[in-house]
Chains A and B, each alone.
Chain A
Amino acid sequence: MDNVFIEALVRALAVGTPLLLASLGAILNERGGVVNLGVEGMMAVGALAAFAVAVAPGGNLWLAVLAAAAAGALLASLHAFATVTLRANQFVSGLALALLGTGAAGLLGKRYEGAPLFNKVPDWNLAGFVISPFTVFALLLAGALAFYLNSTRSGLTLRSVGENPAAADVLGVNVGRVRTGAVLAGGALAGVAGAFLALSYRASWADNMTAGLGWIAVALVIFVGWRPLRAILGALFFGVLYYLQFRLQGNSPIPTEVFSAMPFVLVLVVLALAGLRGQQGDAPAGLGRAYVRGER
């Protein structure tokens, strides 16, 4: 009994790890007032960059993770330029980023399809729990991000840029620079989420290996009300769902398609519940809108 429970928890944590990493990144840039729906694309290029570096001759895992972060940030920089500098529609730009990222990863990654990864990131054994270092990093990061947003001066500045960019501007904050930085950091974290898939969880590369996780991460941010610590619970919740999907498949009279659609149905239900509870009220007030000086 205990074993089943622990196995479920460990597996839920594993699936929840990319969700947590990517949604922490999204929380960071959304607290700064920029929505980036391109998480799926940034995860895809992150996964590819990580895998490509890891299988290269002399490939180093640390370098692979760094490459993933850089790839995610690079893609995010297009979003930052389009939405912060050129004031383009944040939602549509994010969609374009998702298309471009998954497309470019699928195109450039074709040569890696089916190639094995011999130096997978080794799991840690913590008091009997077999856990990926990525999971530990994601959990610690959630705590760090909560501290950063609530208790540091720089975190406060970031939040003020998301809540009331005009006021922050008057106080001498460079709104554009802060927002750009937050978007880049969000992209880097989405890239690392992709690296987890390519280096640890699947230890391989395949087209569409992100399989909608990026979109769920975006929805998770709303679900957890833009709070990093709550994101742990949210990611765990979806992790448990994926685990149940895996366990019940074939063992029940319910068709498999019901399980493959389940996470997406649940996202809808969860978003509707969040909407009914008025949780959208927790969104940063300046979220989704370009800041133009002198305009309200």
Chain B
Amino acid sequence: MRFTALSAPSAARAAWVTLAAVVVALLLCALIFVFYGVSPGTVYGTMLRGTLGDSTGLAEVARRTIPLLLIGSGLALAFRAQFFNIGAEGQVLLGAVFAAGTGLFVPLPGVLLLPAMFIMGAVGGGLWAGIAAWLRRLNVNEILSTLMLNYIAVAVVTYLIAGPWKGKEVRGYIYTDLFPENGFLAVVPGTQVHWPTLVLGVAGALALQWVLSRSTFGYALRVVGENPGAARYAGLSAGRVATTVALITGGMAGLAGAGEVAGIHHRLLEAGQISLGYGFTAVIVAWLARGNPALCLITAPVMAIILAGGDLLKIDLNMPFRVVDVFSGVILLCLISSEVFIRNRVTWGTGRTVGRKANG
């Protein structure tokens, strides 16, 4: 297999290759289901019928689209700057903690409570990502630091709900009391779709796209991401760009955490119930969108189908929810492997000639 670089890879080529990568990923997952002992047809049929087949299913997809859109559009920006934030999971949790703390303990007049919860949620998530940005200045790889911070965030949530914040009226359970009613976010009647957060997500994705493609900061971000050498030459500080990007991404994830507790649970509860792996799934949302926040408007619902479908597989086919990790891992692997086919023409053969011109 030899690769010849294409001078200008077209958008259509990118779209076709991406589609092919997803198809290959679904075939590989099918193979794993055969090993598990369920027919892939049953698995995919169950997932599709239960997500896109009726209004309840669509509402479940919408519910999961909300956090994925918020986190994914932020991550798209971060990946463009080569800041590999894998810790959105932890940033969601810290957002939930800060929002819940505000809802439970800060006496605010009714109309101000929800906005305050969201602002504090963004602060919490931003703070958690900020630690990773600061550590990066000490040469700590952000993939490792953000991952470690995920584990620490889970411990923080567990400590709070089992310790100082444990509800007074909940007896043996480990979660907090309910927020005051002013801290409940509006939902589409009969569903768990907290639409104000959805609006926030759509606006956020569009705003970030604008920042990326139209603003001076977006320009600096793209230069730092695509050509760090040139960025240094132009006097752009990669460290400062990374820090800003981390704060934005973490803030978006924090908003997602605030939305989950204010819109669905109305209390702080176990980490695994606040986030169903949104942080990791959003990595794929951002990668599928090829670093364009606005494209997450399409890719977030796609991945939401997999999350909602995973729930159905658990209920209907009694499969472990881990099946979602299998999907995520395989899709991500196929996506990044396919990238070479976007930028290169492939010729098959065992020829020993050099596939690329020197210094090309």
Contact = CB atoms under 8 A, between A and B. Distances in A.
Same complex: yes
A143 interface: no
Contacts of B48: none
Interface stretch (A61-69, A78-86, A145-153, A229-237): A78-86
A264 interface: yes
A82 B333 contact: yes
A271 B319 CA distance: 38
Nearest to B324: A103
Given A267-B144, A272-B138, A103 B336 contact: no
Interface in B265-315: 280, 283, 287
B155 A108 contact: no
Nearest to A296: B359
Interface residues of A, number: 55
A79 to B, nearest CB: 8
A272 B140 contact: yes
Interface in A66-112: 78, 81-82, 85-89, 91-93, 95-108, 110
Interface in A262-277: 264-265, 267-268, 271-272, 274-276
Candidate in A101, A107, A276 with the most chain B CB atoms within 10 angstroms:
A107
Nearest to A95: B86
Interface in B315-339: 319-320, 322-330, 332-333, 336-337, 339
Contacts of B152: 261, 264-265
Contacts of B359: 294-296
Contacts of B325: 99-100, 102-103, 106
B151 interface: yes
Contacts of B355: 293
Contact of A215 (B144, B280, B320): B144
Nearest to B84: A91
Nearest to B150: A264
A268 B354 contact: no
Interface stretch (A125-133, A187-195, A196-204, A252-260): A252-260
B151 A261 contact: yes
A182 interface: no
Contacts of B138: 272, 275-276
B151 A212 contact: yes
A96 B148 contact: no
A13 to B, nearest CB: 23
A240 interface: no
Interface stretch (B121-129, B156-164, B239-247): B156-164
Interface string B63-92: 000000000000000000000101000000
Nearest to B143: A91
Given A104-B32, A268-B140, A293-B355, A88 B337 contact: yes
A97 B329 contact: yes
A228 interface: no
A280 interface: yes
Contacts of A272: 135, 138, 140
A278 B337 CA distance: 32
A212 B155 CA distance: 13
Contacts of B148: 215, 219, 264-265, 267-268
B1 interface: yes
B139 interface: yes
B357 interface: yes
Main secondary structure of the interface of A (DSSP, over half): helix
Nearest to A92: B336
B360 A107 contact: no
A272 to B, nearest CB: 5
Given A97-B329, A261-B155, A268-B148, A81 B337 contact: yes
Given A260-B155, A275-B140, A96 B333 contact: yes
Given A104-B32, A106-B325, A215-B148, A294 B84 contact: no
A140 B156 CA distance: 39
B340 interface: yes
A37 interface: yes
A78 B143 contact: no
A142 interface: no
A292 interface: yes
B358 interface: yes
A41 interface: yes
A218 interface: yes
Given A92-B287, A272-B140, A294-B358, A103 B339 contact: no
A209 B149 CA distance: 20
Contacts of A78: 333
A92 B360 contact: no
B320 A257 contact: no
Contact of A99 (B141, B280, B358): B280
Closest 10 CB pairs of A and B: A100-B329, A103-B325, A106-B322, A275-B139, A99-B329, A261-B155, A257-B159, A96-B332, A103-B326, A275-B138
10 contacts: A37-B144, A81-B337, A85-B1, A86-B339, A93-B337, A103-B329, A110-B319, A255-B163, A268-B135, A271-B140
Given A82-B336, A95-B86, A275-B138, 17 more contacts: A88-B339, A89-B339, A95-B332, A97-B329, A103-B327, A104-B32, A215-B147, A215-B151, A219-B148, A261-B152, A264-B151, A265-B152, A268-B140, A275-B135, A275-B139, A292-B356, A294-B357
Interface of A: 37, 41, 78, 81-82, 85-89, 91-93, 95-108, 110, 207, 212, 215, 218-219, 222, 255, 257-258, 260-261, 264-265, 267-268, 271-272, 274-276, 278, 280, 292-296
